[in-house]
């Protein structure tokens, strides 16, 4: 066992990369839940985004086009969920679970001819002056563009929900859809747009896995990342900045367990591999200990069916 082989600077830089797909999916789901909709199909949207982004990037030799295709793929799949739950009034929990199963099956079918292929490389942003700063330069200024996009989304969602009229309307719909409808807001339309935004973010998260994090297509490669994103939204108490903290916590534990394996720590690999998920569960249990406080943070209309009576 040689713990000196673990470089703290590389570890922190790596956790930012490892956290990005979950961060993208979680911030999208936060907006969806703020509008009062519970979409459990994040895993399905992520895996469809992964294959859409990978396939289009390979065909066009452009990672940028691949990410656009991934966002569109995730948004279209989420639109299916939105139509079923908001227009046809299907049960949100059952529909979300079905969406995940559908996405896993669809991605497996679409990805059959792409196994073993390599996508085009995504260029990293290397700012000449900032990237040369000791320690901070390597941690903050030598990443691919999607790392910065995920951080920018956190800022935009936080500011949008708190300071803009659109954010106020989304929160109003999530807190009391009947009152929002009485005020003249198009509840179904607003929720459909929020659902599509969440789907696009989940698609980007999936594409990040297949194009950057693990640059290849493997069936079921999301490996529960969508479920972790859902858990992080609850952990974050539906607050954007806490989503960042939760995603980086999970990413940090994931990277740490890989480094511990490489360092030859005398712990069974199975225990190290499951540690990120165990820690996530433990944190959720702690956060949910005070049920009253947790209930106050959740949007009041979350998961409730809206039916316009007039």
What is the C-alpha R_g of the chain?
A: 20
Q: Is residue 129 part of a domain?
A: no
Query: Sorting pLDDT into bands at 50, 70 and 90, what band is 133?
Result: confident
Of residues 168 and 142, the one with the higher pLDDT is 168
At residue 138, does pLDDT exceed 90? no
Mean pLDDT score, 141-151: 91
Q: What is the DSSP letter of 37?
A: -
For the chain, the farthest-separated pair of C-alpha atoms sits apart, in whole angstroms, at: 69
Q: Is residue 68 part of a domain?
A: yes
Q: Is residue 66 part of a domain?
A: yes
Whole-structure pTM over 0.85, yes or no? yes
Q: What percent of the chain has pLDDT over 90?
A: 63
Mean pLDDT score, 242-252: 89
Q: Is residue 168 part of a domain?
A: yes
Would you state the pLDDT for residue 211?
Answer: 95
Q: How far apart are CA 276 and CA 163, in angstroms?
A: 34
Would you state the pLDDT for residue 65?
Answer: 96
Of 14-18, 145-149, 289-293, give the range with the top mean pLDDT.
145-149
Q: Is residue 134 part of a domain?
A: no
Mean pLDDT score, 37-50: 96
**Number of compact structural domains in the chain:** 1
Q: How far apart are the first and last CA of the chain?
A: 69
Q: Is residue 302 part of a domain?
A: no
Cβ atoms of 195 and 41 within 8 Å: the answer is no
Query: What is the domain extent for residue 17?
Result: 3-116+143-297
CATH label of the domain that carries residue 242: 1.10.3470
Query: Sorting pLDDT into bands at 50, 70 and 90, what band is 310?
Result: very low
For 262: left if phi > 0, alpha if psi spans -120 to 50, otherwise beta; the answer is: alpha
Q: Is residue 11 part of a domain?
A: yes
For 3, list phi and psi in degrees, rounded to 5: -70, -20
Give the list of residues 6+ apart from residue 68 with CB closer than 8 angstroms, or none.
56
Q: Is residue 307 part of a domain?
A: no
Mean pLDDT score, 285-294: 64
At residue 309, does pLDDT exceed 70? no
* pLDDT-wise least confident of 82-96, 114-128, 168-182, 232-246: 114-128
């Amino acid at each position: 066992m040689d713990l000196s082989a673990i470089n703290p600077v590389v570890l922190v830089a790596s956790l930012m990369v490892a956290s990005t797909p979950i961060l993208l999916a979680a911030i999208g789901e936060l907006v969806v839940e703020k509008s009062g909709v519970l979409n459990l199909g994040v895993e399905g949207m992520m895996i469809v985004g992964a294959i859409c982004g990978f396939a289009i990037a390979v065909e066009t030799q452009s990672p940028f086009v691949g990410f656009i295709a991934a966002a569109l793929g995730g948004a279209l799949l989420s639109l299916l969920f939105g139509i079923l739950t908001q227009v046809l009034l299907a049960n949100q929990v059952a529909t979300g679970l079905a969406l995940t199963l559908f996405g896993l099956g669809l991605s497996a079918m679409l990805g059959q001819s792409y196994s073993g292929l390599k996508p085009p490389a995504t260029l990293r942003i290397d700012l000449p002056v900032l990237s040369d700063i000791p320690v901070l330069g390597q941690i903050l200024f030598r990443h691919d563009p999607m790392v910065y996009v995920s951080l920018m989304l956190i800022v935009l969602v936080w500011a949008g929900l708190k300071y803009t009229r659109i954010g106020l309307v989304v929160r109003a719909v999530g807190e009391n859809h009947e009152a929002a409808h009485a005020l003249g807001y198009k509840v179904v339309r607003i929720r459909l747009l929020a659902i599509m935004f969440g789907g696009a973010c989940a698609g980007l998260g999936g594409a990040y896995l297949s194009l950057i994090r693990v640059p290849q297509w493997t069936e079921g490669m999301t490996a529960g990342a969508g479920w972790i994103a859902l858990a992080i939204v609850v952990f974050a108490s539906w607050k954007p900045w806490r989503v960042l903290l939760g995603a980086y916590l999970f990413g940090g534990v994931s990277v740490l367990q890989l480094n511990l394996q490489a360092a030859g720590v005398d712990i069974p690999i199975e225990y190290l591999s499951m540690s990120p998920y165990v820690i996530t569960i433990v944190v959720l249990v702690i956060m949910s200990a005070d049920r009253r406080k947790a209930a106050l943070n959740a949007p009041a209309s979350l998961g409730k069916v809206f039916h316009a009576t007039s």
